[in-house]
Amino acid sequence: MLGAHSIDQVIYGWQYGLWFAFFLFRYARPFIHRHIRLLLETDNTDIAIHDQAAVRGQSLKNIIIALAVWIMLIVISALIYYFTSHNFEYPKEWIEALIRCNGGSE
Cβ pair 55, 35 in contact under 8 A:
yes
pLDDT in tens, the chain (106 residues): 556 677 788 888 889 899 889 888 888 888 888 877 877 776 655 555 666 666 667 677 778 888 898 899 999 989 988 888 888 888 888 888 878 777 655 4
Nearest CA-CA partner of 65 in 53, 73, 77: 73
- Residue-level pLDDT at 75: 94
Cβ pair 31, 58 in contact under 8 A:
yes
- Residue-level pLDDT at 72: 94
- Residue-level pLDDT at 46: 56
- Residue-level pLDDT at 52: 66
- Residue-level pLDDT at 18: 92
